[in-house]
Amino acid sequence: MVEVWYGIIALMLTLYVVMDGFDLGAGALHLLVAHTNDERRQVLSAIGPYWDANEVWLIAAGGALFVAFPAVLASGLSGFYFALFLVLWCLILRGVAIEFRGHVQNDLWREFWDRGFSAGSILLGIFFGVALGNLLRGVPLESSGWFALTLFTDFSARPPIGILDWYTILVAVFALIALMGHGAAFLAWKTAGAVHERSTRLTWRLYLLIGALWPVLTVVTSIMQPAMWHAFLSRPLAWLLGAGSLAGFSGVFVFTRRGRHLSAFLGSTAFLGGLMLATAVCLFPVMLRSVDNAALSLTAYNASTDARGLQIALYWWAIGFPLAVLYFVVIFRLHRGKATAAGEGEGY
C-alpha cells in the first residue's frame, strides 16, 4: 500500500507539471510570442479555460501527502517555509494579472499586468526547478525529521548547503526552459497567425536547448547521487519511462516539422511526464534525502501513515481521481480548436 501511494503522489505531481506546465510556459513566453493587445489576448484565451484548474493538481498532491506521508509534508513545509510563500505570491500575481489586465482599456495598465504575468510565470518555473534540485541533492535533515535552509552559502552543493547552489540553479534553468518549450508547443497547437508562427519557431529553439542541457544534467545528477543512477540501471520501469521521455522529445521535432502540432504537444507531454516519473522511480523509496546521514532520510516506509488509513484513503482517491480526469476531458473537448482573441469585456 505504501508503494501505491508513493506512485499516486508521483503521478499527481507529474500531472501538475504537465498540465500547469503548459500555461506557465505560455506565460513565460507571453511577451515574446505576442506583441499586440490582440495577440496577448489570444494567448490568454488559449490558456484561459485551463490555468486555474491546472493548479488543483498541486493542491491534490499536497492533500495526498497529508493523508499518506504526513511527516514528509510537515518537514517540507517547515523547511521550505519562505520558498513556499514566494510560490504563493507568484501564483497570486499570475491570477491577478490575468484578471485585471482587461479591466481598464489603457496601454500602460495592460503592459504593467502583462509584465507581471510573465514575471510570475518565469519565477514559478525557477522556484519549482530549485525545489526539485533540493529534493535531488538532499537537505540537512536532523534526527527529529526537521531541517532549515538559508537562501545560499558558498554555492558548492556540499554541506553546509542553502536553497541555492550551482546544482539547484542548473536544475532550475533546465526546468524553466523545459516548461517554456512545453508552453511553446501548446501555443503552436492552440493559436493561429503570428502567435502560432512565433511559437513554432520557439518550440524548435527551446527543444534544441533542452537537448543540449538534458544529458549534462543527467551526468551531473548521476555523479552527485550515484544511488539514483544505480537505481535507474536496475529498475526496468525506469528504462521504460526514460524511453518514453526520449520518444516524446524526438516526437516534438518530427511532428513540429510536419505541422502536426497536437502530436508535437503530446510529445512534449510525454517528455516531461516520462522524465518526472522516471525520476520518481529512481528516487524510491526516498522522499526527503538527508545530505549528512542517509539513515536520517525520510522514506515512503518510515514516513507513511498506518496501513488502514492508506487503504481507506485509496477508496476515496479511486472516486475523486476519475472525476477530475473526466472534468479535464470535458474542458478540452469544449474548447477544442484554435483560440481567438476575445473582444473587450468578453473575459480573457
Calpha distance 1→8 (Å, rounded): 11
Calpha distance 215→221 (Å, rounded): 10
In the predicted structure, residue 337 carries a pLDDT above the cut 80: yes
Name the β-bridge partners of 186: none
Q: Residue ranges of the domains in the chain?
A: 2-334
SS3 170: helix
Residue 231 burial (C-beta neighbours within 10 Å; 0-12, 13-18, 19+): middle
Calpha distance 68→313 (Å, rounded): 8
What's residue 30's pLDDT?
Answer: 92
The pLDDT-based confidence of 345 (bands split at 50, 70, 90) is: low
Nearest CA among 151, 89, 120 for reference residue 24: 120
- What cell was used for 125? 518555473
pLDDT in tens, 144-182: 888 888 888 888 878 888 899 999 999 999 999 999 999
Nearest CA among 9, 49, 13 for reference residue 272: 13
Q: What totals of helices (H) and strands (E) does the chain contain, helices first?
A: 14, 4
What's residue 120's pLDDT?
Answer: 95
Nearest CA among 172, 134, 289, 304 for reference residue 227: 289
In the predicted structure, residue 343 carries a pLDDT above the cut 70: no
pLDDT in tens, 98-157: 989 888 888 899 999 999 999 999 999 999 999 999 999 999 998 888 888 888 888 887
Please say whether the beta carbons of 9 and 68 come within 8 A.
yes
Nearest CA among 88, 176, 94, 93 for reference residue 130: 176
DSSP 70-113: HHHHHHHHHHTHHHHHHHHHHHHHHHHHHHHTTTS--HHHHHHH
Average pLDDT, the chain: 92
Q: Mean of the pLDDT values across residues 270-282?
A: 97
Q: Please report, in angstroms and rounded to a whole number, the separation of the first and last CA atoms in the chain.
A: 44
Q: Mean of the pLDDT values across residues 296-323?
A: 91
In the predicted structure, residue 77 carries a pLDDT above the cut 60: yes
Residue 41's alpha-carbon distances to 33, 302, 331, in angstroms, are 12, 49, 19
Calpha distance 94→92 (Å, rounded): 5
pLDDT in tens, 208-251: 999 999 999 999 999 989 999 999 999 999 999 999 999 999 99
SS3 259: coil
